[in-house]
Amino acid sequence: MDRARKDLDACQELADIIELRLDLIEDFDLPALLKLAGKPCIVTNRCKMDGGQFSGPEEKRVDILRKAIDLGVDYIDIETSTPGPLLKSILENKGTAKAILSHHDFTRTPDDLNPLYDLMCQLPADVLKIITYATDINDNLMLFRLLARAKKDEKQLIAFCMGEKGEVSRILTVQQGGWLTFGSLETGKESAPGQIPARILKHIYRVNELKLESKVYGVIGDPVSKSMGYLIHNKAFQAAGLPHVYVPLLVQNVTRFFNAFEPYLGGLSVTMPHKEAIMKSMNRIDPAAERIGAVNTVVPDGNGWAGYNTDYSGALKALEPHGPLKDKNVLIIGAGGTAKAIGQGVVDQGAILTLTYNRNKEKAQALADQLQCKLISIRDVDQAAVDILINCSPSGMAPNVNDTPFPARLMKPGMVVFDSVYNPMETRLLKDAQSAGCTTVSGVELFVHQAAGQFELWTGQPAPVDLMRQVVEEKLSPQE
């Protein structure tokens, strides 16, 4: 009860309606909780089978809901799994309370939810709730279709998917006509898998403000849970007065996802491992992205889609304040995906590029052939002429913050040192470079400019770059 009191207090600025999960509160005092809530409440007493903690007899479980009805509660939640006679009796004797008839599937999303919905429609409930588990990102679309049907039928429906692959429907359900979405009070206080903190739903995804015309953007990748895109892009849309939303999309099969989700999308960011596979779904590919062989941004293009690479343009933007690249000696550490995009950028600007290989010479040689540049071993960097050094390897990234891919003794005043690693923001490489009097460019600049490039391609408006940088720096700053 002590914790419940504190939680109710914390709910006040976030929730429009509060669910009291009585099965999770020991020795609850319902009249006191209802008084403290001060907002419409849903009283729920979940049994184990539906993901709750109540373990007593069903009669006793439902009796607690009856008491809530007697106390004048706004809503009770009753599961379709409740034994028939108990379910019927509570639905027919709910007094002034409204009944939410709920169904949970914690393992999957069935191919056709219509038969279940039809059955539930036959019972005298006020709101239907159908929650399934997403084993594939496309499962969310089944729930969107059901929401469209409920809208036509003028039925109030709560519908979304649980699990990490279901986050998109938790965010978009209200936009798609759902009656509400659930948010946790904070990370670690989720009452179901994949629940998003209410503060993020409200202030970052702006779920209360989304309209059907709000365009949906997102990042596809695997994994996507660490991506900062949702913060930077949602804040940028908000600052620009745009009603759009940006969501994480945990995708395994890119083509299957894109074919199904396309009508819902305004554009996409694409991250590992899908930057090459997405190209097949594009009607047009920007020449720079074509040369690189990777797309990180998907933009509507007439009746189809175009692919761009803003790692390429973002890296050039980050280097722009430090003078022209033409005829400069650029040394890139690494020969992976980032080296490919940035290497292509500096070569296109007329720089003299040298790449390094570490363990995998064959792969690095293929990139050096593609970019028609020199390749040396990472152990021979002291022989390279360097005006601009760009780290495109993970060396120095947390937790290995004492690593550096380039010896400090080779750094000279006037050199530009650009680290694509942004975690930490100030890597050992950048600290060494500052001590040696070099000009430094942090990985935050690359991240911010590639995101700003995406924003500009999607909206046709200049990106709020300073705000985007502030969002990233705040997120990456060590927490006290």
Ligand X SMILES: NC(=O)c1ccc[n+]([C@@H]2O[C@H](COP(=O)([O-])OP(=O)(O)OC[C@H]3O[C@@H](n4cnc5c(N)ncnc54)[C@H](OP(=O)(O)O)[C@@H]3O)[C@@H](O)[C@H]2O)c1
State the number of binding residues for ligand X (CB under 6 A): 25
Q: Which of 196, 397, 429, 452 binds ligand X (CB under 6 A)?
A: 397
Cα distance between residue 110 and residue 108, in whole Å:
6
Please indicate whether residue 274 is annotated as part of the active site.
Answer: no
Q: Is 420 in the site for ligand X (CB under 6 A)?
A: yes
Interhelix angle 2-11/30-37, nearest 10 degrees: 20
SS3 call for 22: helix
C-alpha closest to that of 229 among 180, 293, 296: 296
**Per annotation, catalytic residue among 165, 244, 275, 449:** 275
Q: Is 333 in the site for ligand X (CB under 6 A)?
A: yes
- Enter the tokens of residue 387: 């005006």
- Enter the tokens of residue 81: 């799994």
SS3 call for 21: strand
Residue 101: exposure state from Cβ atoms within 10 A (0-12, 13-18, ≥19): buried
Q: Is 427 in the site for ligand X (CB under 6 A)?
A: no
Candidates 172-180, 252-260, 331-339, 346-354; binding stretch for ligand X (CB under 6 A): 331-339
Q: How far apart are the first and last CA of the chain?
A: 30
Rg (CA), the chain: 27
Footprint on residues 74-93 left by ligand X (CB under 6 A): none
Q: Please say which residue, 165 or 340, places its beta carbon nearer to ligand X.
A: 340
Please indicate whether residue 104 is annotated as part of the active site.
Answer: yes
Q: Please say which residue, 194 or 334, places its beta carbon nearer to ligand X.
A: 334
Please indicate whether residue 165 is annotated as part of the active site.
Answer: no
Candidates 37-45, 145-153, 226-234, 440-448; binding stretch for ligand X (CB under 6 A): 440-448
Please indicate whether residue 211 is annotated as part of the active site.
Answer: no
Q: Is 269 in the site for ligand X (CB under 6 A)?
A: no
Site pattern 280..319 for ligand X (x: CB under 6 A):
----------------------------------------
Cα distance between residue 140 and residue 160, in whole Å:
7
SS3 call for 462: coil
- Enter the tokens of residue 335: 């020969």
C-alpha closest to that of 230 among 212, 250, 255: 250
Q: Is 393 in the site for ligand X (CB under 6 A)?
A: yes
Q: Is 22 in the site for ligand X (CB under 6 A)?
A: no
Candidates 55-63, 115-123, 284-292, 415-423; binding stretch for ligand X (CB under 6 A): 415-423
Q: Please say which residue, 184 or 442, places its beta carbon nearer to ligand X.
A: 442
Specify the amino acid at residue 434. Answer: Q
- Enter the tokens of residue 256: 């299957």
Q: Is 421 in the site for ligand X (CB under 6 A)?
A: yes
Footprint on residues 349-378 left by ligand X (CB under 6 A): 357-360, 378
> What residues line the site for ligand X (CB under 6 A)?
333-339, 357-360, 378, 392-395, 397, 405, 420-422, 443, 446-447, 450
Active site residue ranges: 104, 129, 275, 311
